[in-house]
Amino acid sequence: MYKQRAFTLVELLVVIAIIAVLMAILMPALQRVKKQAKESICLSNLHQWSLCMTMYMDDNDGLFSEDELNMGGFWQCVLRPYYTDIGELRCCPQAMKPAVPEGGGYGSSGSTFLAWGVFNDTVRFAEPGDYGSYGLNGWLYSGRPFVPPEKNYWKGYHNVPQPSNVPLILDCLWIDGWPSPTNAPPTAGDGRVYGNVSMMGRFCINRHNGFVNGAFMDVSVRKLGLKELWKLKWHRNFDTEGPYTLAGKVTPDDWPEWIRPFKDY
């Protein structure tokens, strides 16, 4: 009579060891695929926002809106007629959870992996319930007198040289920002509330392993090295060879320790 042979303990342990080795090999690859998928979704979101902004400017003589205080609402509010359902469009997949889920005021700023918001009814430039993890280049506004000088503002898409280097909207820890070439990078890479960092620091967050994603005036989208942010043409008179660039003779000591290993530009 045939007697079925069972696994020995040694054979079972060998099988378990093989499975463990395979998992150790596959898990990093699966994590990379997952991160790449999130980056692709983020870039797609930004592309949709750039299209909405372009449609808005098309309908307004090539100009973007005035700032959120003058218009009574920030860019997400202004662009509402140009998208049917904001859904997950409002957030990078790496920063979906709002900083203050129960609703908060002006202190509802985000961080590297947290969205800004949720805003409550005390924030007069937003609708209650608004949140997100992207920020507008504030130099795009068609008017904001208390962030001078006015000559720096793009205001819209007219007479824009090299639009592929003029940022519209990027990963950000607040709704907008007005970077300058002398803005220092954040002292830590984990993201800080917007009031404690420079304007450039609002965008310089380590959300995608040394990169952030951005959309540009020509409706293109791409990954940006964190130090590359100082090479973008944020406003009409922005010095793209400023002190935090290779052309401006930046040194490793000029960068906080967390950002030093990343590529220089």
* Segments in 191-249 forming alpha helices (H): none
| Structure confidence at residue 190 (pLDDT) | 67
Question: Is residue 110's pLDDT more than 60?
Answer: yes
pLDDT tens readout for residues 212-228:
999 999 999 999 999 99
| Structure confidence at residue 153 (pLDDT) | 95
Question: Percent of the chain beyond pLDDT 90?
Answer: 69
Q: Which residues contact 148 (CB under 8 A, 6 or more apart)?
A: none
| Structure confidence at residue 11 (pLDDT) | 66
| Structure confidence at residue 6 (pLDDT) | 62
Question: Is residue 29's pLDDT more than 70?
Answer: no
Residue 213 · residue 134 · CB < 8 Å: no
Which tokens hold the place of 3?
């007697």
Output 234-237 pairs: Cβ under 8 A, ≥24 positions apart: 234/137, 234/139, 234/166, 234/167, 234/178, 234/179, 234/180, 235/139, 235/152, 235/153, 235/154, 235/178, 236/139, 236/151, 236/152, 236/153, 236/154, 237/151, 237/152
Helix, strand, coil percent values for the chain (each to nearest 5):
35, 15, 55
- Dist CA 100 CA 120 (whole Å): 10
Report the chain's mean pLDDT, rounded to a whole number: 89
| Structure confidence at residue 240 (pLDDT) | 98
pLDDT band at 101 (very low <50, low <70, confident <90, very high): very high
Half-sphere exposure of 105 (CA within 13 A, CB side): 2
Q: What angle do CA 154, 74, 44 make, to 5 degrees?
A: 75
Question: Is residue 194's pLDDT more than 80?
Answer: no
- Between residues 65 and 2, which one has the greater pLDDT? 65
| Structure confidence at residue 72 (pLDDT) | 66
Question: Is residue 1's pLDDT more than 60?
Answer: no
pLDDT band at 17 (very low <50, low <70, confident <90, very high): confident
Average pLDDT, integer, range 146-166: 92
| Structure confidence at residue 3 (pLDDT) | 56
| Structure confidence at residue 67 (pLDDT) | 82
- Between residues 67 and 210, which one has the greater pLDDT? 210
